[in-house]
Structure 1
Amino acid sequence: MRHQSPSSWAAICIFIAAVVHFALGFSIEFSVDEAHYVLYAKHLAWSYFDHPPLVGWIQWPLVSLTSSEGIIRLIPEMLWILSAYLVYQVTLEIHHVLQGRNAGYLTTALPSASLCGLMAVLAIVAAPLPHVLAIGLLPDTLLTPLSLGLMWMALRWIRKDVVSMADWLLMGLLLGLAGLSKYTAVFTAFALLLVFLSAPKKPWLNTMGFWFAALLALIIISPVLYWNWVNDWISFKYQIAHGSGGTWAWRRVAAFIGIQIACFGPLLLIGLFIFVKDCLRSNKVILVALLSFFFIPFTIFAALSGGGGLPHWTMPAWFCLAPFVGIGLAKAWVMKGRLTIKIIFIVQVLICLLGFSFVLAGGINSAAIKSNPIADLYGWKIAGQKAAQLAQASKVEGIAVQNWTLGSRAAWYASPLPVFVLDQRKDQFDLWFGGLPNGASVLLMNWSGMAFNPPIGGNRAFERCEPLESLEVIRFGQVLSRFDFSLCHHWQDAGTPR
């Protein structure tokens, strides 16, 4: 590190990670969520059943030009680079606030701003889960740089205490785009409001720019509101039910916290502890308000995890925490804590590299392991093409699957054939392709990783199904999974409520 400045090392680390993301992006097929959101771009709409529309809109130009997974994945890769850059810049802004002559927050001197920025970037680069969202575009991939952008604007307001009209409009634009990315952007909006409320005086309430920013954000999210109004608010109803999960249990909260540490790494927690211990002392109202960009969403998701949740939902919050972590780690670095930081960083990077290797190898198939999640990333392209050939040769209505997670890859790789999901859950596929008509015949596609018996007999079933072909997915000599294709005749839906 003596031969490069901290800012140069931050750029080098971001570049190396980006090259790895680029290589992996061309090596594997779409995951279930990626395919679902790429279908958003194929079926442009004002909004969608389960998420706001920006995750589809932003992919539309590339999806219109190509079906290459690697090219389409340039979008999340660039968003990850932007997020890492914003982590560095926000760290510099927080450093300036802490060093401000009127701040009075510190009892000891801080390391250089560039070293703090480097440590913040290293904490992100060494976090395993964000690399997944850097390769596959999810709404959280979008919300992360937008949340950091809003945090940066809040820091600009803190430092200047006066915001120009251009800054207000930029803030409204970022807030509106965040709302178009994911409904949980409301947590970021609360954190931003808390920063404004933390000031002793509230001059912004009488500023035209504040109200213009609020109006601009409302205009930007109006397509989501209009679409839900037309569709009986189905997206909001779904998200409320999805967020509440099942029966609440403390063990799920404990599991959620443990999974969070494993997915994002202990380096972030160590940096946070040092920052709170050494930097969060007197006059801490502003700092606590800024930390709410992490604590508000994380606390809510942790509470909801008692009923169920997914680990990547907190990624924007962890990225907003990284600047504080960087300052804490930089203090430990200059106070003879280098060995500990080096060891933890190397261990986390090795875990990331091990994960990349498993993905490229196709995971491990073993009797000791209940399932191989990596198998889900291989075989869908050739299976979708085979399904399309069989469906066209059989002259059926389309392709059928028995769970929506099987439908997204089938719909992408067998496009433009319609894909019907035969479960009783109303979802986006019903809006795209409608329900399977009574009396219809389809090609039933089954995957060994989520196998179902053909629906024969009953209120929602076929009259008969005939096996056609099977397809084994083999990678490096090991069988990852198997696809079975059946020709099913005369669908009958007795009107079971959905």
Structure 2
Amino acid sequence: MRNRSPSSWAATAICIAAVVHFALGFAIEFSVDEAHYALYAQHLAWSYFDHPPLVGWIQWPLVSLTSSEGIIRLIPELLWVISAYLVYQVTLEVHHVIQGRNAGYLSTALPSANVCGLIAVLSIIAAPLPHVLAIGLLPDTLLTPLSLGLLMMALRWIRKDSFSTADWMLTGLLLGLAGMSKYTAAFTTFALLAVLLVTPKKPWLSTFGFWFAAGIALIVISPMLYWNWLNDWISFKYQIAHGGGSTWAWRRVGAFIGLQIACFGPLLLMGSFIFIKDCLRSQRAVLLALLSFFLIPFTIFATLSGGGSLPHWTTPAWFCLAPFAGIGLAKAWAIQQRLAIRLLLITQLMLCLLGFAFVLAGGISSAAIKSNPIADLYGWKLAGQKAAQLAQATKAEGIAVQNWTLGSRAAWYASPLPVFVLDQRKDQFDLWFGQLPVGASALLVGWSGMVFSPPVGGNWAFEHCEPLDRLEILRFGQVLSTFEFSLCRNWRDGSQAP
């Protein structure tokens, strides 16, 4: 460590993690969400049923050239590298703010800004869940560097006497791109507004630049607004219902918080606690406003988790917390409180490596384990190819599945065959492929990881289904899953008597 600068160590750590992401990107097939957003790129539109369009638009150049998962995954890998770099840069800015405004109130001197940046980067690399988003492109993968960019602009606002027109322009562009990435970018906008509000001596509401930035943001998100206007605002209605979840329960909130600690690691929490304890002595309002880039989205998601939520939704918030945690951890390291930091860092890195090995091995399949989540990452390419062959041989109208999560991989790997989801819930597949025509035949694809009763008899069902073939997916000698293919005839959509 003495022979190299902290910045060079940070760059080395980022490069090592990026190489691991690159290797894993070629080793596994698309997950359900990756395939869904890659289909966005195949069916370009102003927006989509469940998310804004940027996650599809950004993939379009590569998807139009190749179907290789490893090549397409270069996009999330690059976004992760940019996010890690921004964590380092934001840490330097936060360090400068603390030293300039808080120096007289610190119990001990802070380590150098570069050391704080290195530890902030290491705390992100040691967090297990962000590696998933570094390999698979999700809207949160996009929102993470954009949120860090807005946090950087907030720090620039605090440090500078006034914002230039270029600063406002960049802020508006970042806000617009964040809105085109995911609707929850609104939470980051609230955090930026909090920073503006705690600096009352700097006028902003009455300035041309602020309204110029707001205009730019509105122009950038206008395609998404236009599409929703044409489609009866279905995306907003879906997200409101999706965010509300099911019946609210405290136990879900507790499970969510426990899962967050497991997914992002206690190292970030430890560093944040030390930062709050030792660095919030002066200019507390300003630092709390900066911390709201984590606090606002995390609090909202934790509250919504009582009805149900997904752990990766908070990823941009944790990345925005990392610079503060890095400063706290560096401060603890400087005063010889190193054992706990070493243990947590090594433990989290070992868990990440164990997770990588678990994915490459295909998980564990045994009678003692009810489900193997890793099995979902293997076999869909073979199943899609076989489904396409069988559908062509039987002259079926397309492929049928009984849940949208099965439809994404079927549509990607059996492209350009239409895929029909056999439910009464409107979703993106209805916009892409329409409804299965009455009286039509379809190749039904079933997967052992999500078993349904055959859709035969009654309303919203086929007249009969005939089994055609079966495909076992093997990984290092163990059976991960099984696909079953059936030809189903004479579809009834509920308008006919059974």
Q: Counterpart of 1:400?
A: 400
* Unaligned runs of at least 5 residues, structure 1: none
Q: Counterpart of 1:422?
A: 422
* Segment drifting more, 333-342 vs 71-80: 333-342
Structure 2 CA distance for aligned equivalents of residues 149 and 313 of structure 1: 18
Say if 1:90 and 1:152, in contact at 8 Å, map to a contact too.
yes
Say if 1:176 and 1:221, in contact at 8 Å, map to a contact too.
yes
Read off the aligned partner of 1:249 and give its amino acid letter.
Answer: A
Q: Counterpart of 1:475?
A: 475
Structure 1 CA distance for aligned equivalents of residues 106 and 424 of structure 2: 58
Q: Counterpart of 2:305?
A: 305
Structure 2 CA distance for aligned equivalents of residues 434 and 386 of structure 1: 23
Q: Counterpart of 1:153?
A: 153
Say if 1:98 and 1:104, in contact at 8 Å, map to a contact too.
no
Say if 1:62 and 1:72, in contact at 8 Å, map to a contact too.
yes
- Cα shift at 1:495: 4.3
Q: Counterpart of 2:10?
A: 10
Q: Counterpart of 1:432?
A: 432
Read off the aligned partner of 1:58 and give its amino acid letter.
Answer: I
* Segment drifting more, 435-444 vs 156-165: 156-165
Structure 2 CA distance for aligned equivalents of residues 144 and 347 of structure 1: 25
- Does residue 109 in structure 1 map to residue 109 in structure 2? yes
Q: Counterpart of 1:389?
A: 389
Q: Counterpart of 1:454?
A: 454
- Cα shift at 1:5: 1.1
Secondary structure, aligned partner of 1:484: strand
- Per-residue CA shift, 1:393-412, capped at 9, x if unaligned? 10110000000000000000
Q: Counterpart of 2:66?
A: 66
Structure 2 CA distance for aligned equivalents of residues 473 and 399 of structure 1: 20
Q: Counterpart of 1:143?
A: 143
Structure 1 CA distance for aligned equivalents of residues 191 and 383 of structure 2: 45
- Cα shift at 1:101: 5.3
Structure 2 CA distance for aligned equivalents of residues 452 and 204 of structure 1: 57
Structure 2 CA distance for aligned equivalents of residues 293 and 101 of structure 1: 20
- Does residue 90 in structure 1 map to residue 90 in structure 2? yes
- Cα shift at 1:107: 4.2
- Per-residue CA shift, 1:212-246, capped at 9, x if unaligned? 00000001001111111100000000000000000
Decide whether aligned partners of structure 1 residues 451 and 102 sit closer, same or farther in structure 2, where only a CA change above 3 A counts. Answer: closer
Q: Counterpart of 1:348?
A: 348
Q: Counterpart of 2:268?
A: 268
Structure 1 CA distance for aligned equivalents of residues 419 and 74 of structure 2: 27
Q: Counterpart of 1:179?
A: 179
Secondary structure, aligned partner of 2:473: strand
Read off the aligned partner of 2:117 and give its amino acid letter.
Answer: G
Structure 2 CA distance for aligned equivalents of residues 263 and 439 of structure 1: 47
Structure 1 CA distance for aligned equivalents of residues 208 and 324 of structure 2: 32
- Cα shift at 1:106: 3.3
- Cα shift at 1:105: 5.5
- Per-residue CA shift, 1:359-382, capped at 9, x if unaligned? 000000011111000000000000
- Does residue 329 in structure 1 map to residue 343 in structure 2? no
- Per-residue CA shift, 1:433-478, capped at 9, x if unaligned? 0000100000000000001121111110001100000000001000
- Cα shift at 1:108: 3.1
Q: Counterpart of 1:444?
A: 444
Say if 1:248 and 1:306, in contact at 8 Å, map to a contact too.
yes
* Unaligned runs of at least 5 residues, structure 2: none
Question: What are the residue-to-residue correspondences of 1:358-397 with 2, within 5 Å?
Answer: 358-397=358-397
- Per-residue CA shift, 1:304-336, capped at 9, x if unaligned? 000000000000000000000000000011111
Secondary structure, aligned partner of 1:167: helix
Decide whether aligned partners of structure 1 residues 80 and 354 sit closer, same or farther in structure 2, where only a CA change above 3 A counts. Answer: same
Say if 1:50 and 1:238, in contact at 8 Å, map to a contact too.
yes
Q: Counterpart of 2:194?
A: 194
- Cα shift at 1:200: 2.8
Structure 2 CA distance for aligned equivalents of residues 295 and 65 of structure 1: 41
- Per-residue CA shift, 1:283-311, capped at 9, x if unaligned? 21100000000000000000000000000
Q: RMSD of aligned C-alpha atoms?
A: 1.0
Q: Counterpart of 1:245?
A: 245
Report the identity percentage. Answer: 80
Read off the aligned partner of 2:71 and give its amino acid letter.
Answer: I
- Cα shift at 1:201: 2.0
TM-score under structure 2 length normalisation: 0.98
Structure 1 CA distance for aligned equivalents of residues 421 and 200 of structure 2: 55
Structure 2 CA distance for aligned equivalents of residues 103 and 285 of structure 1: 16
Say if 2:461 and 2:493, in contact at 8 Å, map to a contact too.
yes
Count of aligned pairs between the two proteins: 496
Structure 2 CA distance for aligned equivalents of residues 17 and 114 of structure 1: 19
Read off the aligned partner of 1:214 and give its amino acid letter.
Answer: A
- Per-residue CA shift, 1:254-299, capped at 9, x if unaligned? 0000000000000000000100010012321100000000000000
Structure 1 CA distance for aligned equivalents of residues 105 and 275 of structure 2: 11
Structure 1 CA distance for aligned equivalents of residues 453 and 473 of structure 2: 20
- Cα shift at 1:204: 1.3
Read off the aligned partner of 2:189 and give its amino acid letter.
Answer: A
Structure 2 CA distance for aligned equivalents of residues 164 and 425 of structure 1: 49
Structure 1 CA distance for aligned equivalents of residues 156 and 491 of structure 2: 61
The list of structure 1 runs, each at least 4 consecutive aligned residues, that deviate by more than 4 angstroms after superposition, is 101-105
Read off the aligned partner of 2:464 and give its amino acid letter.
Answer: R
Secondary structure, aligned partner of 1:26: helix
Secondary structure, aligned partner of 2:400: strand
- Does residue 28 in structure 1 map to residue 28 in structure 2? yes
Structure 2 CA distance for aligned equivalents of residues 355 and 121 of structure 1: 20
- Cα shift at 1:343: 1.1
- Cα shift at 1:100: 1.0
Read off the aligned partner of 1:97 and give its amino acid letter.
Answer: V
- Cα shift at 1:338: 1.6
Structure 2 CA distance for aligned equivalents of residues 2 and 85 of structure 1: 22
- Per-residue CA shift, 1:62-99, capped at 9, x if unaligned? 00000000000000000000000000000000000011
Structure 2 CA distance for aligned equivalents of residues 105 and 299 of structure 1: 29
Secondary structure, aligned partner of 1:100: helix
Say if 2:29 and 2:69, in contact at 8 Å, map to a contact too.
yes
Structure 2 CA distance for aligned equivalents of residues 453 and 385 of structure 1: 24
Say if 1:76 and 1:141, in contact at 8 Å, map to a contact too.
yes
Secondary structure, aligned partner of 2:443: strand
